[in-house]
Amino acid sequence: MIIKASQMKTTRHTKNWLAMVQTTLAIGVISLAGQAMAQTDQITVQHAKGQATVNAQPAKTVVFDLPTLDIMQVLGVQAVGVPKARFPDSLSAYNADSMPKVGTLFEPDPHAVKEVSPELIIVGGRSRAKFDDMAKLAPTLDLSVDTQAPLKSIERNTQTLAAIYNKEPEAQAALKELNDAVAGLQAKAATAGNAMLILAVGEKTSAFGPGSRFGMIYDVFGFVPNDAVKNLSAKDRHPVKLDDIAKANPDWLFVIDRNAATGKQGKPTRQLLENPVIRDTAAAKNNRIVYLDPYNWYIMGSAGLTSMQQNIDQIAAALNAK
């Protein structure tokens, strides 16, 4: 078969045109696939301020909430920017000078945050008031803890973070371990006798009852509240004197030393309670005055996986010693 030159030219042009069309179609398919992937690369989650859509597995997260850092650490996720703070041993890596410091627990530094260029910002507790300011810089979540439902808050925040960072197996294992530990402590606390929790600030002491900031000792761990605290308002601080504690005569006295938590100098609470009035209480006579980890209870708010487990371990050890 003989093909004329004009026919050959048309055939070549047709082949070239077909090749271009095929290439264009292929690029279009790839582009559409990329768009579909981008659409599925986001996740919508609930948080204290409502609902938010964030990037899945964000590469850069700035965190202003210590309990969130605690949970992320257990899940194997690292932040790229944190506030200037006193970090516990489990989070000591954030003390490094190489870790960008982006403000304080109360006051985020917008300029420092911008320099990190985060895909996600997380506030909570002390920083929650700055949510709107941070939301102007990047998608922001408020993972504040509900003090009247601390265990549920930990579970919710752990599940939220696991969904964002694709860490569901790690979260499931951690929550199972925590819930098993809580159940074990509750079984022992229920028959341990009544309890009273106080916060000491120097020589001033306040009592806390169920539903309060430190009510977890009753609400979660299962201690029976002493008559002197069981009807206290959950929102108010209730100053008490040593004579009041002696009159209440709790079987267990749990103590938080705020100065020890913040690093402030002052008379140690243990020295304050080594008083003849307190020595006559059932708690003192039976060696049941427990000085709770001040950092975990006051700074961390017992709202992280590690801090909560450490609190359980400390109290369980005190119960086992009896």
* Residue pLDDT, tens place only, 104-133: 999 999 999 999 999 999 999 999 999 999
Kindly give the interhelix angle for 150-165 and 168-189, rounded to the nearest 10 degrees. 170
Tokens of 84: 């200037």
Is the per-residue pLDDT at 141 higher than 50? yes
Helices 66-75 and 150-165: angle between axes, nearest 10 degrees: 50
| pLDDT of 59 over the 50 cut | yes
| Helix runs in 91-231, H state only | 110-116, 131-135, 150-165, 168-189, 216-219
Per-residue pLDDT of 225-276, as tens digits, reads 999 999 998 877 799 999 999 999 999 999 999 999 998 887 789 999 999 9
- Number of residues written out for the chain: 322
Of 308, 272, 277, 271, the residue nearest 292 (C-alpha):
308
User: Which tokens belong to 306?
Assistant: 């590690």
Q: Evaluate whether 43-169 and 175-320 have a shared fold.
A: yes
Whether 49 shows a pLDDT value over 50: the answer reads yes
The DSSP code for 257 is E
| Sheet-wide strand order for 61-63 | 61-63, 120-123, 140-142
Query: Measured between alpha carbons, how far is 3 from 288 in angstroms, rounded to an integer?
Result: 105
CATH architecture, range 43-169: 3-Layer(aba) Sandwich (3.40)
Counting residues of the chain whose pLDDT is more than 90, the rounded percentage is 79
Of 83, 90, 151, nearest to 310 (Cα)?
A: 90
Per domain, the residue ranges of the chain are: 43-169, 175-320
Q: What would the two tokens of residue 154 be?
A: 């930990």
Topology of the domain covering 175-320: Rossmann fold (3.40.50)
Question: Are the C-beta atoms of residues 215 and 234 closer than 8 Å to each other?
Answer: yes
SS3 call for 45 = strand
CA distance 35 to 28: 10
Average pLDDT, the chain: 88
Residue with tokens 């919508």, as numbered in its chain: 44
Q: pLDDT tens-digit profile of 181-193?
A: 999 999 999 999 9
Note the pLDDT of residue 322.
64
Q: How far apart are CA 179 and CA 97, in angstroms?
A: 36
- The more confident residue out of 233 and 77 is 77
54, two tokens: 């964030």
Q: Is the dihedral of CA 35, 41, 46, 51 positive or negative?
A: negative
- Cα separation, 311 vs 124, in Å, equals 21
What's the N-to-C CA distance of the chain in angstroms? 105
